[in-house]
Structure 1
Amino acid sequence: MSHWIIVPAVLPALTAAFLLLTLRHHLPSQRVVSIVATVLLLAVDIGLLVQAAEGGTQAYRLGAWPAPFGIVLVLDRLSATMLVLTAVLALAVIVFASAGADRKGQLFHPLFQFQLLGINGAFLTGDVFNLFVFFEVMLIASYGLMLHGGGPARLKSGFQYVAINLVASTLFLVAVGLIYSVTGTLNLADLAAKVPAVAPADQGILKAGALLLFLVFATKAALVPLHWWLPATYASTSAPAAAIFMIMTKVGAYAILRVHGMVFGADAGALAGLVAPFVLPAAAVTLVVGSIGVLGSASLRGLAAFAVVSSMGTLLIALGLFDASGIAAALYYLVHSTLAGAVLFLIAGLVAEGRGAAADGLAPAGAMRGGLLVGGLFLLAAIAMVGLPPLSGFLGKVLILQAVRVDAAWPWLWALILGTSLVMTLGFARAGSSLFWAARPMPRDQATIPLAQPVTGIALLLALLVAWTAAAGPAMTWLDATTAQLLDRGQYIGAVLEPGGEAS
Structure 2
Amino acid sequence: MWHLITAPIVLPMLTALIIMLPPVHYSPMRRRWVSMISSVLQLVLVLTLLFQVQANGMVHYAIGNWQAPFGIILVADTLSVVLVCLTSFLALGAICYGSAGEDEKGSFFHPLFQFQIMGINGAFLTGDLFNLFVFFEVLLIASYALLIHAGGKNKTRAAVHYVVLNLTGSAIFLISLAVLYGTLGTLNIADMAQKVAVLPAEDLMLVKSGGLMLMIVFALKAAILPLQFWLPATYSSASAPVAALFAVMTKIGVYALLRVYTTIFGAHAGELSDIAGDWLLPAGLATIALGAVGVMASHDFRKLVANLVLVSVGTLVSLVALQTELSAAAAVYYTVHSTLVTAALFLIADLIANQRGKAGDRLVSGRRVTQPVLLGFMFMLGALTVAGLPPFSGFVGKLMLLQAVIEPGQRIVIWGLVLLSSLMVIIALSRAGSTLFWRISGNDSDGGKAHPLQVFAVCWLLLASPLLALFAGPLTELSQQAAAQLYDTSTAVHSILGQPLKEVSP
What's the TM-score once normalised by structure 2's chain length? 0.97
C-alpha spacing 1:286/1:274, structure 2 compared with 1 (3 Å): same
User: 1:291-321 deviations in whole A, cap 9, x for unaligned?
Assistant: 1100110111000000100111122222211
User: 1:466-494 deviations in whole A, cap 9, x for unaligned?
Assistant: 10011111111111111111100111112
Q: Are 1:479 and 2:460 matched, yes or no?
A: no
Q: Are 1:336 and 2:337 matched, yes or no?
A: yes
Question: Could you tell me how far apart the structure 2 residues matched to 1:442 and 1:347 are?
Answer: 22
Question: Could you tell me how far apart the structure 2 residues matched to 1:17 and 1:442 are?
Answer: 47
**Does structure 1 retain, via aligned residues, the 8 Å contact 2:147–2:239?**
yes
Could you tell me which amino acid in structure 1 is paired with residue 143 of structure 2? Answer: S
User: 1:400-424 deviations in whole A, cap 9, x for unaligned?
Assistant: 1111133522112111111111111
**Does structure 2 retain, via aligned residues, the 8 Å contact 1:364–1:440?**
yes
Question: Could you tell me how far apart the structure 2 residues matched to 1:35 and 1:406 are?
Answer: 47
Question: Could you tell me how far apart the structure 1 residues matched to 2:127 and 2:225 are?
Answer: 28
Q: Which residue of 2 aligns with 1:495?
A: 495
Q: Which residue of 1 aligns with 2:503?
A: none
User: 1:36-80 deviations in whole A, cap 9, x for unaligned?
Assistant: 000110011001001110111111001111210110101111111
Q: Which residue of 2 aligns with 1:432?
A: 433
> Which deviates more from structure 2 when the two are superposed, residues 257-266 or residues 124-133?
257-266
Question: Could you tell me how far apart the structure 2 residues matched to 1:228 and 1:465 are?
Answer: 29
What displacement does 1:395 show?
1.2
Could you tell me which amino acid in structure 2 is paired with residue 333 of structure 1? Answer: Y
Question: Could you tell me how far apart the structure 1 residues matched to 2:55 and 2:268 are?
Answer: 27
The 5 Å alignment of 1:93-492 reads: 93-406=94-407, 408-440=409-441, 442-443=443-444, 446-492=446-492
User: 1:311-366 deviations in whole A, cap 9, x for unaligned?
Assistant: 11122222211101111111111110011110110101111222222111110101
Could you tell me which amino acid in structure 2 is paired with residue 8 of structure 1? Answer: P
Question: Could you tell me how far apart the structure 2 residues matched to 1:341 and 1:296 are?
Answer: 18
What displacement does 1:372 show?
2.2
Question: Could you tell me how far apart the structure 2 residues matched to 1:366 and 1:202 are?
Answer: 65
Question: Could you tell me how far apart the structure 2 residues matched to 1:25 and 1:285 are?
Answer: 49
> Which deviates more from structure 2 when the two are superposed, residues 416-425 or residues 167-176?
416-425
What displacement does 1:166 show?
0.3
The 5 Å alignment of 1:43-54 reads: 43-54=44-55
Q: Which residue of 1 aligns with 2:19?
A: 19
What displacement does 1:455 show?
1.1
What displacement does 1:439 show?
2.2
Question: Could you tell me how far apart the structure 1 residues matched to 2:439 and 2:452 are?
Answer: 25
Q: Which residue of 2 aligns with 1:502?
A: none
Q: Superposition RMSD on alpha carbons, in Å?
A: 1.2
The DSSP-based 3-state class of the residue aligned with 1:149 is coil
Question: Could you tell me how far apart the structure 2 residues matched to 1:190 and 1:314 are?
Answer: 30
**Does structure 1 retain, via aligned residues, the 8 Å contact 2:354–2:447?**
no
**Does structure 2 retain, via aligned residues, the 8 Å contact 1:24–1:106?**
no
Could you tell me which amino acid in structure 1 is paired with residue 265 of structure 2? Answer: F
What displacement does 1:441 show?
5.6
User: 1:87-128 deviations in whole A, cap 9, x for unaligned?
Assistant: 000111111111111120121100000001000100110010
**Does structure 1 retain, via aligned residues, the 8 Å contact 2:2–2:61?**
yes
> Which deviates more from structure 2 when the two are superposed, residues 20-29 or residues 249-258?
20-29
The DSSP-based 3-state class of the residue aligned with 2:351 is helix
Question: Could you tell me how far apart the structure 1 residues matched to 2:307 and 2:443 are?
Answer: 30
Q: Which residue of 1 aligns with 2:88?
A: 87
The DSSP-based 3-state class of the residue aligned with 1:405 is coil
What displacement does 1:191 show?
0.3
Could you tell me which amino acid in structure 2 is paired with residue 479 of structure 1? Answer: S
The DSSP-based 3-state class of the residue aligned with 1:60 is strand
What displacement does 1:207 show?
0.8
Q: Which residue of 2 aligns with 1:32?
A: 33
The DSSP-based 3-state class of the residue aligned with 2:405 is helix
What displacement does 1:442 show?
4.1
**Does structure 2 retain, via aligned residues, the 8 Å contact 1:27–1:106?**
no
Q: Which residue of 1 aligns with 2:502?
A: none
Question: Could you tell me how far apart the structure 1 residues matched to 2:470 and 2:400 are?
Answer: 15
Structure 2 unmatched ranges of 5 or more = 500-506
Question: Could you tell me how far apart the structure 1 residues matched to 2:267 and 2:409 are?
Answer: 19
Question: Could you tell me how far apart the structure 2 residues matched to 1:175 and 1:438 are?
Answer: 52
**Does structure 1 retain, via aligned residues, the 8 Å contact 2:367–2:441?**
yes
Question: Could you tell me how far apart the structure 1 residues matched to 2:443 and 2:376 are?
Answer: 15
Q: Which residue of 2 aligns with 1:9?
A: 9
The DSSP-based 3-state class of the residue aligned with 2:74 is strand
What displacement does 1:447 show?
2.7
Could you tell me which amino acid in structure 2 is paired with residue 268 of structure 1? Answer: A
**Does structure 2 retain, via aligned residues, the 8 Å contact 1:368–1:442?**
no
User: 1:370-408 deviations in whole A, cap 9, x for unaligned?
Assistant: 122112111111111111122111111111111113352
**Does structure 2 retain, via aligned residues, the 8 Å contact 1:57–1:491?**
no
Question: Could you tell me how far apart the structure 1 residues matched to 2:354 and 2:117 are?
Answer: 26
> Which deviates more from structure 2 when the two are superposed, residues 198-207 or residues 447-456?
447-456
Question: Could you tell me how far apart the structure 1 residues matched to 2:318 and 2:45 are?
Answer: 32
Question: Could you tell me how far apart the structure 1 residues matched to 2:217 and 2:449 are?
Answer: 41
What's the TM-score once normalised by structure 1's chain length? 0.97
Question: Could you tell me how far apart the structure 2 residues matched to 1:343 and 1:248 are?
Answer: 15
Question: Could you tell me how far apart the structure 2 residues matched to 1:447 and 1:295 are?
Answer: 28
Question: Could you tell me how far apart the structure 1 residues matched to 2:192 and 2:408 are?
Answer: 29
**Does structure 1 retain, via aligned residues, the 8 Å contact 2:309–2:342?**
yes
Question: Could you tell me how far apart the structure 2 residues matched to 1:282 and 1:407 are?
Answer: 20
Question: Could you tell me how far apart the structure 2 residues matched to 1:129 and 1:373 are?
Answer: 47
Could you tell me which amino acid in structure 2 is paired with residue 394 of structure 1? Answer: F
Question: Could you tell me how far apart the structure 2 residues matched to 1:174 and 1:65 are?
Answer: 26
User: 1:447-471 deviations in whole A, cap 9, x for unaligned?
Assistant: 3133422111111111111100111
**Does structure 2 retain, via aligned residues, the 8 Å contact 1:179–1:205?**
yes
